[in-house]
Amino acid sequence: YGYTVGKSLALALVDRDFAGEGTALSVHVVGEERPARVVAASPYDPLGKAMRQ
């Protein structure tokens, strides 16, 4: 869990067929399947630029 971004985060190696931004995936977390999606940009925004758009 990323407290700074308020979301669960994961880093994974995935096959190219599934690596496109926005691709829906599922991951196993503590024995449960959870939804996930591929993001290209880092969700961390230390300068707050996303809030100023």
DSSP string, 4-53: TTTB--------GGG-STT-EEEEEETTEEEEEE--SS-S--TT-GGGG-
| Tokens describing residue 33 | 């399947």
Looking at residue 53, what is its pLDDT?
A: 66
> Are the C-beta atoms of residues 5 and 14 closer than 8 Å to each other?
no
Q: What percent of the chain is predicted at pLDDT more than 70? A: 98
Mean pLDDT of 16-41: 92
| Tokens describing residue 17 | 């067929």
> Are the C-beta atoms of residues 35 and 26 closer than 8 Å to each other?
yes
Looking at residue 7, what is its pLDDT?
A: 84
User: Is the confidence at residue 13, as pLDDT, over 70?
Assistant: yes
What are 31-46's pLDDT values in tens digits? 999 999 998 877 777 7
Instruction: Compute the mean pLDDT over every residue in the chain, rounded to the nearest whole number.
Output: 86
